[in-house]
Chain A
Amino acid sequence: MTEFAVRAEGVGKVFPTKDGDVVALTEVELTVDAGEFVSLIGPSGCGKSTLLRLIADLDPASSGTLEIFGKPASKARVDQDYGIAFQQAGLLPWRTVAGNIALPLELHGMAKPARAARVAELAELVGLTEFVDRYPDQLSGGMQQRVAIARALAEQPRLLLMDEPFGALDEMTREYLQGELTRIAADTGAAVVFVTHSIPEAVFLSDRVVVMSPRPGRITDILTTGLGDTRDEALRESPAYFERVTAVREALHGTPVERANER
């Protein structure tokens, strides 16, 4: 029997405002298998970040049921079943790289020697071993984001939630970290729910791409990429990859996109 990392049934989110309720998300049906890489993509206001925040129990769902490994989201958060990274690295500026990676371990009362060993392991995993004593303001944006990913992985979660983690980075760093992320996801065997507004990024990383649409935020399509387990630079130039990028683009726009050579 396949275990579900995330199972959402009829999930909705309504934000009450002065001018009446705003429906941010409605009737979301989604399952993410253990070890699966799923991207949420869509224009601004489609509720992709909102859905991620509901899964992370950073905001409560207004309706429906949401289960993480068969538990309610709030219990999964307290049990640390997931790790999360945001668009902003969100590192504490007064802590070193090691101190930032160790933060969740410290909060959960892990003993100092074990903590140091785990931090060294994580720093190695994200390639920052030489930088553990630096402070965040001494790192580049890409390095800060790698620290945030190491922190998210600290408790060996079986689910990794990522909210546009590479959104603020330049294209080269972005592609490099995408490659690193697929490697880390494969190494750890964790399921990933990845929010992005970049079509190539979603296709390159994912087993499935969830296409969302705004007003009200909802899922309009779910595409399987079928690109296999090897995600390397060769894939970025393969016809299969371009074909999936086109498919996602068409799903986003709702109509087949007319191509110059077919006119």
Chain B
Amino acid sequence: MTTSGAELRPAPGWVRVVAPITVGVVILVIWVVAVDVLKVAPRALPSPIAIINEFVLRSGIIIEDMGITASNSLVGLAAGAIAAIVLAALAATSKPIDGMLAPLVAAIAVVPIVALTPILNTMFGASSQFGRQSVAAIAAFVPVFVNVLRGLRQTRPVHRDVLRSSGATGLQTFRVLTLPTALPYLMTGLRIASSIAVIAALVAEYFGGPADGIGTAIATYAKSGRASLAFAYVAGGIAIGLVFFLVTSLLEWLVSRRKPV
């Protein structure tokens, strides 16, 4: 059917939609056949049909737990990002502050979150989400800080000259030039941080704290042999991560649509 000439042409629009869906369907079919028909899969791997059944059956409690994990991620992402923006702004305006912050940020970047989590959870007790939110905040801080600081340094000399020759004050220059220049970088940082914050908030639930959230449920049901339900929760976790990623990707696209000239 295909000629060599046709292969050189870019794929038509529908191919870009149909191709990944086809891959997904093929994988699902292989999965169902392996588990339900041939029964060659390990016992801990349930059929996708069983997972969907569990998800629908228990959707009320799963969505409630998703809400807990998602809100922990969001609070952590927001707190980490705000701290990162404030500190990056300080570092960008003053060389000494930059020098003071650099080792601190390097230290935060290498903190093993998994190691810190049990301590934080114990510190804030079994009734508080604060430990989990802190873990998400620490995880989100570094990518936002690094990107914002870089973004604040991207103003072009010709733009600075234009502003100076227009008699702009320092604050005006920051508002109309430095900030808009840094915005796409902030959004890139947020997109990277959003996935990390969700993972951090979820993993933090494995190490104590209140008995709610996606991570807690996955750990509980995996241990008690209810694999289908555990996987239904995993699907919930994927959904949260996907929503965070899509929203931040959309924001990033919105602010970086205009190419520099």
Q: Interface size of A by Cβ–Cβ distance < 8 Å? A: 29
Given contacts A88-B158, A92-B180, A94-B180, contact A135 B258 (CB under 8 A): yes
* In contact, A86 and B177 (Cβ under 8 angstroms): no
Contact B165 A93 (CB under 8 A): no
Cβ–Cβ contact B258 & A90, under 8 A = no
In whole angstroms, what is the CA distance A137 to B257 when docked? Answer: 10
B166 and A103 form a contact (CB under 8 A): yes
Q: Are A93 and B161 in contact (CB under 8 A)?
A: no
* Docked complex Cα distance between A144 and B163 (Å): 17
Chain B contact residues: helix, strand, loop or mixed? helix
Q: Report the Cα distance A124→B213, complex, angstroms.
A: 61
B172–A84 CB distance below 8 A: no
A56: interface (CB < 8 Å): yes
- Count class of interface residues, chain B: 20 to 34
Note all chain A residues with C-beta closer than 8 A to B261: 89, 91, 93, 136-137, 139, 144
Are B161 and A90 touching (Cβ within 8 A)? yes
Chain A CB within 8 A of B16 CB: no
Q: How far is the CA of A117 from the CA of B180 in the complex (A)?
A: 26
**Interface flag for B159 (CB, 8 Å):** yes
With A103-B166, A107-B163 given, name 7 new contacts (CB 8 A). A56-B165, A93-B259, A107-B172, A135-B258, A136-B261, A137-B258, A137-B259
Is B176 part of the contact surface with A, judged by Cβ < 8 Å?
Answer: yes
Given A103-B176, A135-B258, A137-B258, residue A90 in contact with residue B167 (CB < 8 A):
no
The reply on A189 being an interface residue by CB < 8 A is no
Cβ of B182 to closest chain A Cβ, rounded Å? 12
Contact of A84 among B159, B165, B255 (CB under 8 A): B165
Q: CB distance A92 to B168 under 8 Å?
A: no
Give Cα A107 to B165, complex, Å: 11
